[in-house]
Protein backbone atom coordinates (compact mmCIF):
# COMPACT_ATOMS: atom_id res chain seq x y z
CA UNK A 1 0.00 0.00 0.00
CA UNK A 2 1.41 3.39 -1.05
CA UNK A 3 0.74 6.88 0.24
CA UNK A 4 -1.00 7.64 -3.04
CA UNK A 5 -3.73 5.21 -2.05
CA UNK A 6 -4.73 7.53 0.82
CA UNK A 7 -5.02 10.71 -1.28
CA UNK A 8 -8.69 10.18 -2.28
CA UNK A 9 -9.60 9.72 1.37
CA UNK A 10 -8.07 13.01 2.45
CA UNK A 11 -9.46 15.26 -0.29
CA UNK A 12 -12.62 15.99 1.72
CA UNK A 13 -10.68 16.84 4.89
CA UNK A 14 -9.99 20.57 5.26
CA UNK A 15 -8.76 22.78 8.06
CA UNK A 16 -11.41 24.75 9.96
CA UNK A 17 -11.94 28.32 8.78
CA UNK A 18 -11.04 29.83 12.14
CA UNK A 19 -8.13 27.52 12.79
CA UNK A 20 -4.56 28.71 12.95
CA UNK A 21 -3.74 27.04 9.61
CA UNK A 22 -6.47 28.89 7.73
CA UNK A 23 -5.41 30.97 4.75
CA UNK A 24 -4.92 34.71 5.13
CA UNK A 25 -8.50 35.50 4.34
CA UNK A 26 -8.74 39.05 5.63
CA UNK A 27 -12.34 39.48 4.46
CA UNK A 28 -13.67 36.75 6.75
CA UNK A 29 -11.58 38.12 9.59
CA UNK A 30 -12.99 41.62 9.05
CA UNK A 31 -16.51 40.15 9.08
CA UNK A 32 -15.71 38.39 12.35
CA UNK A 33 -14.35 41.66 13.77
CA UNK A 34 -17.44 43.55 12.64
CA UNK A 35 -19.72 41.06 14.41
CA UNK A 36 -17.59 41.26 17.56
CA UNK A 37 -17.58 45.07 17.45
CA UNK A 38 -21.36 45.22 17.08
CA UNK A 39 -21.78 42.84 20.02
CA UNK A 40 -19.46 45.00 22.15
CA UNK A 41 -21.31 48.15 21.08
CA UNK A 42 -24.72 46.76 22.04
CA UNK A 43 -23.38 45.52 25.36
CA UNK A 44 -21.73 48.83 26.29
CA UNK A 45 -24.69 50.99 25.24
CA UNK A 46 -27.11 48.72 27.11
CA UNK A 47 -25.02 49.03 30.25
CA UNK A 48 -24.90 52.81 29.78
CA UNK A 49 -28.70 52.95 29.76
CA UNK A 50 -28.97 50.84 32.91
CA UNK A 51 -26.31 52.81 34.79
CA UNK A 52 -27.86 56.13 33.75
CA UNK A 53 -31.26 55.03 35.03
CA UNK A 54 -29.72 53.95 38.35
CA UNK A 55 -27.83 57.24 38.55
CA UNK A 56 -31.10 59.12 38.11
CA UNK A 57 -32.63 57.15 41.00
CA UNK A 58 -29.63 57.92 43.21
CA UNK A 59 -29.82 61.65 42.37
CA UNK A 60 -33.56 61.68 43.15
CA UNK A 61 -32.96 59.96 46.50
CA UNK A 62 -30.11 62.38 47.27
CA UNK A 63 -32.21 65.43 46.52
CA UNK A 64 -34.99 64.14 48.79
CA UNK A 65 -32.75 63.91 51.82
CA UNK A 66 -30.04 61.21 51.88
CA UNK A 67 -26.87 63.28 51.68
CA UNK A 68 -24.11 61.93 49.44
CA UNK A 69 -26.27 59.74 47.24
CA UNK A 70 -26.64 62.55 44.71
CA UNK A 71 -22.84 62.50 44.31
CA UNK A 72 -22.97 58.73 43.76
CA UNK A 73 -25.72 59.32 41.19
CA UNK A 74 -23.60 61.97 39.47
CA UNK A 75 -20.70 59.51 39.33
CA UNK A 76 -23.00 56.89 37.82
CA UNK A 77 -24.21 59.34 35.19
CA UNK A 78 -20.61 60.25 34.35
CA UNK A 79 -19.86 56.54 34.06
CA UNK A 80 -22.84 56.12 31.73
CA UNK A 81 -21.59 59.02 29.60
CA UNK A 82 -18.15 57.39 29.39
CA UNK A 83 -19.74 54.07 28.37
CA UNK A 84 -21.88 55.82 25.74
CA UNK A 85 -18.79 57.49 24.26
CA UNK A 86 -16.98 54.15 24.24
CA UNK A 87 -19.99 52.50 22.59
CA UNK A 88 -20.14 55.20 19.93
CA UNK A 89 -16.48 54.59 19.17
CA UNK A 90 -17.37 51.00 18.26
CA UNK A 91 -19.80 52.38 15.68
CA UNK A 92 -17.18 54.59 13.99
CA UNK A 93 -14.75 51.90 12.87
CA UNK A 94 -13.42 52.13 9.32
CA UNK A 95 -13.49 48.56 8.05
CA UNK A 96 -12.34 49.69 4.60
CA UNK A 97 -9.07 51.13 5.91
CA UNK A 98 -5.80 49.61 4.74
CA UNK A 99 -5.09 46.33 6.51
CA UNK A 100 -2.14 47.66 8.52
CA UNK A 101 -4.16 50.65 9.84
CA UNK A 102 -7.24 48.53 10.54
CA UNK A 103 -5.26 45.95 12.50
CA UNK A 104 -3.37 48.61 14.47
CA UNK A 105 -6.65 50.28 15.45
CA UNK A 106 -8.20 46.92 16.33
CA UNK A 107 -5.20 45.97 18.51
CA UNK A 108 -5.50 49.29 20.34
CA UNK A 109 -9.26 48.89 20.71
CA UNK A 110 -9.08 45.35 22.10
CA UNK A 111 -6.20 45.88 24.51
CA UNK A 112 -7.07 45.40 28.17
CA UNK A 113 -6.58 48.79 29.79
CA UNK A 114 -4.74 51.64 28.20
CA UNK A 115 -4.49 55.38 28.32
CA UNK A 116 -7.89 55.57 26.62
CA UNK A 117 -9.48 54.19 29.79
CA UNK A 118 -7.97 56.69 32.23
CA UNK A 119 -11.15 58.78 31.96
CA UNK A 120 -13.04 55.93 33.65
CA UNK A 121 -11.27 56.87 36.88
CA UNK A 122 -13.17 60.17 37.13
CA UNK A 123 -16.62 58.57 37.63
CA UNK A 124 -15.06 56.00 39.96
CA UNK A 125 -13.55 58.73 42.13
CA UNK A 126 -16.82 60.70 42.16
CA UNK A 127 -18.77 57.60 43.23
CA UNK A 128 -16.14 56.85 45.89
CA UNK A 129 -16.45 60.40 47.21
CA UNK A 130 -20.24 60.07 47.30
CA UNK A 131 -19.98 56.80 49.21
CA UNK A 132 -17.62 58.47 51.68
CA UNK A 133 -20.15 61.27 52.22
CA UNK A 134 -22.94 58.75 52.84
CA UNK A 135 -20.79 56.84 55.34
CA UNK A 136 -19.70 60.06 57.07
CA UNK A 137 -23.24 61.43 57.45
CA UNK A 138 -24.65 58.09 58.62
CA UNK A 139 -21.80 57.49 61.07
CA UNK A 140 -21.83 61.06 62.42
CA UNK A 141 -25.38 60.59 63.69
CA UNK A 142 -24.56 57.49 65.73
CA UNK A 143 -20.81 57.41 66.46
CA UNK A 144 -18.13 59.54 68.07
CA UNK A 145 -15.42 61.35 66.08
CA UNK A 146 -13.12 58.35 66.40
CA UNK A 147 -15.90 56.02 65.26
CA UNK A 148 -16.56 58.19 62.22
CA UNK A 149 -12.85 58.07 61.32
CA UNK A 150 -12.84 54.29 61.70
CA UNK A 151 -15.98 53.98 59.57
CA UNK A 152 -14.41 56.11 56.82
CA UNK A 153 -11.18 54.10 57.05
CA UNK A 154 -13.13 50.86 56.74
CA UNK A 155 -14.99 52.26 53.78
CA UNK A 156 -11.75 53.24 52.05
CA UNK A 157 -10.30 49.74 52.60
CA UNK A 158 -13.54 48.19 51.30
CA UNK A 159 -13.54 50.48 48.24
CA UNK A 160 -9.91 49.66 47.44
CA UNK A 161 -10.58 45.92 47.80
CA UNK A 162 -13.65 46.25 45.60
CA UNK A 163 -11.63 48.04 42.91
CA UNK A 164 -8.92 45.36 42.98
CA UNK A 165 -11.57 42.63 42.79
CA UNK A 166 -13.27 44.37 39.86
CA UNK A 167 -9.93 44.71 38.08
CA UNK A 168 -9.16 41.00 38.52
CA UNK A 169 -12.62 39.93 37.35
CA UNK A 170 -12.46 42.32 34.39
CA UNK A 171 -9.07 40.93 33.39
CA UNK A 172 -10.41 37.35 33.51
CA UNK A 173 -13.44 38.35 31.48
CA UNK A 174 -11.20 40.11 28.95
CA UNK A 175 -8.99 37.04 28.64
CA UNK A 176 -12.00 34.80 28.07
CA UNK A 177 -13.69 37.06 25.52
CA UNK A 178 -11.06 39.04 23.63
CA UNK A 179 -7.52 37.91 24.41
CA UNK A 180 -7.63 35.27 21.66
CA UNK A 181 -8.94 37.82 19.18
CA UNK A 182 -6.16 40.25 20.12
CA UNK A 183 -3.60 37.46 19.68
CA UNK A 184 -4.92 36.78 16.18
CA UNK A 185 -4.86 40.50 15.35
CA UNK A 186 -1.21 40.69 16.38
CA UNK A 187 -0.38 37.53 14.41
CA UNK A 188 -1.93 39.05 11.29
CA UNK A 189 -0.01 42.30 11.87
CA UNK A 190 3.20 40.33 12.12
CA UNK A 191 2.45 38.44 8.88
CA UNK A 192 1.77 41.71 7.07
CA UNK A 193 5.01 43.24 8.33
CA UNK A 194 7.06 40.20 7.38
CA UNK A 195 5.71 40.15 3.88
Kindly tell me the burial class for residue 114, based on how many C-beta atoms sit within 10 Å of its own C-beta (0-12, 13-18, 19 or more). Answer: exposed
Domain contains 114: yes
Can you tell me the distance from the alpha carbon of 195 to that of 191, in angstroms, rounded to the nearest whole number? 6
Domain count, the chain: 1
Domain contains 12: no
- What's residue 80's pLDDT? 92
- What's residue 153's pLDDT? 92
Domain contains 6: no
Q: Tell me the pLDDT tens digit for each residue of 168-188.
A: 998 898 888 888 888 888 888
For the cut 50, the answer to whether the pLDDT of residue 20 exceeds it is: no
Distances (CA, A) of 143 to 54, 61, 62, 69: 30, 24, 22, 20
Domain contains 128: yes
- What's residue 195's pLDDT? 65
Q: Tell me the pLDDT tens digit for each residue of 91-122.
A: 788 877 788 888 888 888 888 877 778 888 88
Mean pLDDT score, 58-73 = 83
Structural domain harbouring 41: 26-194
What is the three-class DSSP state of 96? coil
Domain contains 50: yes
- What's residue 15's pLDDT? 45
Domain contains 20: no
Can you tell me the distance from the alpha carbon of 37 to that of 177, in angstroms, rounded to the nearest whole number? 12
pTM score: 0.73
Mean pLDDT score, 142-165 = 90
Amino acid sequence: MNLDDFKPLTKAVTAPVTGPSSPNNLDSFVAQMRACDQKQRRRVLGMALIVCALGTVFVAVGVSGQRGTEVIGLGMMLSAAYMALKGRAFGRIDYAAPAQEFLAAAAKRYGFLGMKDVLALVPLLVMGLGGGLVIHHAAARHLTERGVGLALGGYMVFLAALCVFALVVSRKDWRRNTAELLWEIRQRQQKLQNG
